[in-house]
A and B are shown apart, each in its own frame.
Chain A
Amino acid sequence: MSDHESHDFDVIVIGAGGAGLRAAIEAKERGLRTALVCKSLLGKAHTVMAEGGAAAAMGNVWSEDNWQVHFRDTMRGGKMLNNWRMAQLHAQEAPERIYELERWGALFDRTADGRILQRDFGGHRYARLAHVGDRTGLELIRTLQQRAVAIGIEVFMECKVLRLLKDADGRVSAAVGYWRPSGEFVIFTAKAFVLATGSIGKSWQYTSNSWESTGDGHAMAAWAGADMIDMEFVQFHPTGMVWPLSVRGILVTEGVRGDGGVLRNSEGKRFMFDYIPPMFAAETADSEEEGDRWYEDHLNNRRPPELLPRDEVARSINSEVKGGRGSPHGGVFLDIASRRSPEYIRRRLPSMYHQFKELAGVDITAVPMEVGPTCHYAMGGIRVDADTEATTVPGLFAAGEVSGGMHGANRLGGNSLSDLLVFGRRAGTAAADFAEGRRGSPTVSDSEVEAVFAEATAPLERTDGESPYDIQHDLQETMQQLVGIIRTESELASALGELDKLDERSAAMAVSGPRTYNPGWNLATDLPAMLTVSRLTTKGAIARRESRGGHTRDDYPSPDPEFETLNLVQRVRPDGEFTLDPEPIPPMPAELRALFEEDTH
């Protein structure tokens, strides 16, 4: 067999964002030989970009808050499509996961009496997000990174994993990849694997995601035969930067609205009052005066419509722009300058201040920002067992954005960071259990390993062929235009046709240069995953003939009660064919259902 390095562990975690780090910490603390494998340097994963905070019903600001209220907010935000058990565990365990970070060194912003301060965010009834200004993700990843280093977890950085391989009994046994600096191949064998590879956003043109978000984990799980659920639900965050073009898509935290910012159209109107959906009408202010009073008094006023769940706000902005009431560069105005003092804005939103000042030459304490929707988060993903994060493939676990179910059709802001912690830890525990119970050394077939090597190096061996950058560009344009925020049958069908062509083109692409740190080659090895997740998203979007959360169909503009009880389950067969089956969501137990029948505020 070709030369390669190999490593053997009990538990291998792929991805070193919040979920991967938390999973690895848990497995390591159980005494297992644990390693982390990540595509970038440690501490650079996309978690670092999270801004607003981590949602946890600690009740430090509003003592009325508790896990039941958080659970209810999460389910309603997800349009009731969430895996109720995940939403329940998440709401129950998030506070302890936050306090644990504090014991590991995190320094959250404080209340006047010295507890962890919590901020308001869309869809959350009470101020619930533990935060550090608007750089909470950095705090979270650094705390976990420092903890992982302190307990001696081995970290393999700048390593791209290409495929998962199974043994004769169908258990995942190896991850095959290459070192980006040297281009040399490496095989990791282990008794249990945790996928924590994050997002898929790089398949769209305007995204808040980094180059890493190519859906590696989604695709590798699907190729290994795992069930994928609800891949049609992609969150377009309502507020990304729109100008200059080079920064289009970069995130503007929801914290701007949580801290008092409002959305206005070109006529200066707070247009969100025109878009309050019936589901949230009872708890949303219907006048500017009431909305403004809410910041000080949550109990006697209803929340302003700027803080509706993200799907609602993103669609509303889209409508305003399409209706000709947008800002000069095709967004709308996000105004905090006229509503809060410059000192307050700089203290609460330092990195937003910095980002607009340096990248757009805009002083957000003096003038409004221009913002518009940006591809941000995949709600769908690998189907997992709620308690253990076990996928449908033995030996394979998944946590964080790569898994599906927790957020249903739409994720609330702040629920991602707490999701990482709660389910990262659970995945680490379950992977450790599985590894301890697994007999014998993991085995892999040499011929399968060789096939992975050969597929990866093929573009380097072709002397003429298209550049992977051209294929990526066309893929991003296709997904942006045809599988974007508003979808329709005919466009989705033509997207599938485009994806067929892109598959063919990528099979013939060529890359020049050496294997050592070659971004062109790295992109060529990312493209198969990008194309697979794009196809899963498109096929799910065609099959879900309704509008719900992060999936809006122009030709089926309303939610359909029948779809409310269905996960769309997709599988990639060994011959490469994709199948799709609607399967009923497990019903919620009566005591949880009762939470939705009580007062709706």
Chain B
Amino acid sequence: MADVTMTVWRGDPSGGAFSDYVMPSVEGEVVLDVLHRIQAGPAPDLACRWNCKAGKCGSCSAEINGRPALMCMTRMDELPAGEPVVVAPMRTFPVIRDLVTDVSFNYTMARQVPPLAPRAADAPDGTFRMMQVDVTRGQEFRKCIECFMCQDVCHVIRDHEENKERFAGPRMFIRYMELESHPLDTNDRRELLRQRMGLGMCNITKCCTEVCPEHIKITDNAIIPLKERVVDASYDPVAWLGRKILRRTKRSAAEAAADAPAVVAPTSADGPTATATPGVTAAS
């Protein structure tokens, strides 16, 4: 049986280095299986997160051969044969130990999302009526398993620690878009997105979409429509005048409901510039 070489980053906040582990190759294994065999053998204290081992919980994110991936869904036989498999922690988050990083940034940003504010019930028994076509878009975003690989790969924060103060990141943008397109919601989060969540800092390079293990079209279906909504709210002179006259800062329930079918951005292979929206400024 052939061997595989796993080149795994070991270390803590004070520093670290890659260590090689040569393990027998086993048919059908994923990267996480080999790490588990390393733990059960040469390195019982090798730190990594995992839970479901089936791509459903988003715990085992790492950078495999330089690319963010779930270790439980990356098959060894799909990696280049005969070459070492390099496994490193996600770079955007501070290392705790080995492959485990401090992802609390994401939880901090999640706490700042204004929650769903549902409209009044549709039926006397207090239940709602929503059509499948109206929930399908929100369901796409709710597939998110919070692996945080979209956050990891986002250059706004990957190389700019200082931006974390004012940038929610792709994971949170799909949460915002989910709420914006939720048939029951009456909250308006557009000013928050513009002023404090750094929506404008995204210059739609689509790196987040590329790494999403759930294949959520983060850029096309969430970030670009959000940018359009924010632009409409902030820069549309007619809307501005309407707000002045009517002194309304929130949409009514009826408006929110009418607004439900989300704007679908072009999904063709347009370059980032082709889909750029007026009012968007690049971050870096």
Is A584 in contact with chain B by the CB < 8 A criterion? no
**Cβ of B132 < 8 Å from any Cβ of A?**
yes
Give every chain A residue within 8 A of B110 (Cβ-Cβ): 146, 149
A40 is an interface residue with CB less than 8 A from chain B:
yes
User: Does A549 sit within 8 A of B, measured CB to CB?
Assistant: no
C-alpha spacing A135/B144, complex, angstroms: 11
Task: Report the minimal beta-carbon distance from B150 to chain A, rounded to whole angstroms.
Answer: 15
B39 x A44 contact (CB < 8 A): no
Indicate if the CB atoms of B51 and A110 lie closer than 8 Å: no
A-B contact pairs, 24 of them (CB 8 A): A40-B51, A44-B57, A49-B54, A102-B127, A105-B115, A107-B142, A110-B135, A113-B129, A114-B130, A135-B56, A138-B56, A146-B115, A146-B116, A244-B28, A244-B29, A247-B30, A358-B73, A358-B75, A360-B28, A467-B40, A467-B44, A511-B45, A516-B12, A519-B39
* Contact between B45 and A518, CB atoms less than 8 A apart: yes
Task: Indicate if the CB atoms of B44 and A105 lie closer than 8 Å.
Answer: no
B146 CB–A CB distance under 8 Å? yes
B96 touches A516 (CB 8 A): yes
**B129-A115 in contact (CB<8A):** yes
Please pick, from B12, B54, B135, the residue contacting A247 in the complex, using a CB distance under 8 A. B54
**Are A250 and B129 in touch, CB under 8 angstroms?**
no
Assembled-state Cα–Cα distance A237/B3 (Å) = 35
Task: Give the interface segment out of B97-105, B222-230, B245-253.
Answer: B97-105
Query: Which A residues are closer than 8 A to B by beta carbons?
Result: 40-46, 48-49, 99, 102-105, 107-110, 113-115, 132-133, 135, 137-139, 142, 146-147, 149-150, 157, 181, 210-212, 243-247, 250-251, 351, 354-355, 358-360, 467-470, 473, 511-514, 516-521
For B30, what are the chain A residues with a Cβ–Cβ distance below 8 Å?
Answer: 246-247, 359
A139 and B12 CA atoms in complex are apart in Å by: 34
**Is B206 on the interface with A (CB-CB < 8 A)?**
no
Is residue B244 contacting chain A, with contact meaning CB distance below 8 A? no
Q: How far is the CB of A334 from chain B (nearest CB, A)?
A: 16
A102–B40 touching, CB < 8 Å: no
Contact B73–A359 (Cβ < 8 Å)? yes
What's the minimum C-beta distance from B174 to chain A, rounded to whole angstroms?
A: 12
Among the listed A45, A358, A518, which residue makes an inter-chain contact with B47, where contact means beta carbons less than 8 Å apart? A518
Q: Which 7 A-B pairs have the closest CB atoms?
A: A244-B28, A513-B45, A520-B44, A114-B129, A150-B115, A469-B40, A517-B97
CB distance from B41 to the nearest CB of A (A): 8
> Which residues of chain B come closer than 8 Å to A104, judged between CB atoms?
116
Report how far A358 CA is from B102 CA in the complex, Å.
28
A115–B121 Cα distance when bound, in Å, is 12
Min C-beta distance of B141 to chain A, whole Å: 9
Contact yes or no, A512 B44, CB < 8 A: yes
Asked if residues B28 and A42 are in contact (CB atoms below 8 Å), the reply is no
Docked CA distance A452–B46 (Å): 25
In whole angstroms, what is the CA distance A519 to B146 when docked? 22
Any A CB within 8 A of the CB of B59 = yes
CA–CA, A512 and B42, complex, Å: 11
User: How far does the alpha carbon of A473 sit from the alpha carbon of B36 in the complex, in Å?
Assistant: 12
- B residues near A (Cβ < 8 Å) are 12, 26-30, 33, 39-41, 44-59, 73, 75, 96-98, 100, 102-103, 107, 110-111, 113, 115-116, 118, 122, 126-132, 135, 138-139, 142-146, 179, 182, 184
Does B54 lie within 8 Å of A109, measured CB to CB? no
Q: How far apart sit A113 and B33, CA to CA, in the bound complex (Å)?
A: 46
Residues of chain A lying within 8 A (CB to CB) of residue B138: 107
Inter-chain contacts of B26 with A (CB < 8 A): 245-246
A44 touches B51 (CB 8 A): yes
* Shortest Cβ distance from residue B106 to the other chain A in the assembled complex, whole angstroms: 9
Cα–Cα, bound, A138→B51 (Å): 13
Q: Which residues of A contact B126 (CB under 8 A)?
A: 99
Q: A211–B51 contact, CB under 8 A? A: yes
Interface centre among B45, B58, B107, B115 (most CB of A within 10 A): B45
CA distance A467 to B182 in the complex (A): 51
The residue of chain A having its C-beta at the shortest distance from the C-beta of B112 within the complex is A149
CB distance from A17 to the nearest CB of B (A): 11
Chain A nearest Cβ from B96, distance in angstroms: 5
Given the complex, which residues of B lie within 8 Å of A360, measured CB to CB?
28
Q: 11 new A-B pairs (CB below 8 Å) besides A46-B51, A105-B115?
A: A44-B52, A103-B118, A110-B130, A132-B142, A138-B142, A181-B100, A246-B30, A351-B56, A359-B73, A467-B40, A469-B40
State in angstroms the CA–CA spacing of A211 and B45 once bound together: 15
**Chain A min CB distance to B275 (Å):** 27
Chain B neighbourhood of A246, CB < 8 A: 26, 28-30, 33
Instruction: Decide: B49 and A40 in contact? CB cutoff 8 A.
Output: yes
CB-based contact B50/A99 at 8 Å:
no
Quick one: closest B residue to A58, CB to CB? B127
Residues of B close to A210: CB separation below 8 A: 50-53, 57
B39 and A520 contacting across the interface, CB-CB below 8 Å? yes
The distance from the CB of B60 to the nearest CB of chain A, in whole angstroms, is 10
With both beta carbons as reference points, the residue of chain B lying nearest to A360 in the complex is identified as B28
For the complex formed, measure the closest distance between the CB of A475 and the CB atoms of chain B, giving whole angstroms. Answer: 13
Distance to closest chain A CB from B38 (angstroms): 10
Bound together, the chains give a CA A420 to CA B103 distance in angstroms of 27
Q: Contacts A104-B116, A135-B143 given: A49-B57 contact, CB under 8 Å?
A: yes
Known: A244-B27, A247-B28. A149 touches B111 (CB 8 A): yes
CA distance A107 to B96 in the complex (A): 35
C-alpha gap A243/B27 in the complex (Å): 10
Interface pair A473/B130, CB less than 8 Å apart: no
Closest chain A residue, CB of each to CB of B141: A107
Instruction: State which of B44, B98, B132 has its C-beta within 8 Å of the C-beta of A110.
Output: B132
A588–B143 CA distance with the chains assembled, in angstroms: 42
Name the residue in B53, B103, B113 with the highest tally of chain A Cβ atoms < 10 Å from its Cβ: B53
- How far apart are A276's CB and chain B's nearest CB, in angstroms? 32
Q: How far is the CA of A142 from the CA of B162 in the complex (A)?
A: 29
Which of B28, B52, B73, B131 makes the CB contact (< 8 A) with A245?
A: B28
Question: Which B residues touch A212, using CB under 8 A?
Answer: 51
Q: Enumerate chain B residues within 8 angstroms of A40, measured Cβ to Cβ.
A: 49, 51, 59
**A513 and B44 in contact (CB under 8 A), knowing A110-B131, A132-B142?**
yes
Which of A99, A251, A469 lies in contact with B127, CB distance below 8 A?
A99
For A519, list chain B residues within 8 Å (CB). 39, 44-48
A256 to chain B, nearest CB (A): 15
Chain B residues within an 8 Å CB radius of A520: 39, 44-45
On chain A, the residues within 8 Å of B131 by CB distance are 110, 114
Among the listed B40, B57, B75, B139, which residue makes an inter-chain contact with A132, where contact means beta carbons less than 8 Å apart?
B139
- Complex Cα spacing A519 to B110, Å: 28
Instruction: Find out whether the CB atom of B128 lies under 8 angstroms from the CB atom of A102.
Output: yes
CA distance A516 to B98 in the complex (A): 10
**Complex Cα gap A250–B54 (Å):** 7
Instruction: Output the least CB separation between B234 and chain A (Å).
Output: 26
- A250 CA / B182 CA spacing, docked (Å): 33
Q: Please indicate the chain A residues that have their CB under 8 angstroms from the CB of B122 in the complex.
A: 114
Give the CA-CA distance A527 to B58 in the complex, in Å: 25
**Partner pick for B145 among A107, A138, A146, A513, CB 8 A cutoff:** A138
Partner of A511, one of B44, B107, B143: B44
Q: How far is the CA of A210 from the CA of B60 in the complex (A)?
A: 12
Candidate in B39, B40, B44, B184 with the most chain A CB atoms within 10 angstroms: B44
**Which residues of B are found within 8 Å of A243, using beta-carbon distances?**
28
| Shortest distance between the CB of B26 and any CB in chain A (Å) | 7
Partner of A469, one of B39, B107, B144: B39
Write out the residue numbers on chain B whose beta carbons fall within 8 Å of the beta carbon of A470.
40
Q: Which chain A positions have C-beta within 8 A of B59? A: 40-41, 44
Complex CA distance for A210 and B72, rounded to whole angstroms: 12
Find out whether the CB atom of B45 lies under 8 angstroms from the CB atom of A514.
Answer: yes
List the B side residues contacting A99 at CB < 8 Å.
126-127
Chain A residue numbers with a CB within 8 Å of B97 are 181, 516-518
Q: Which residues of B have CB within 8 Å of A354?
A: 55
- For the complex, give the distance between the alpha carbons of A351 and B126 in Å: 32
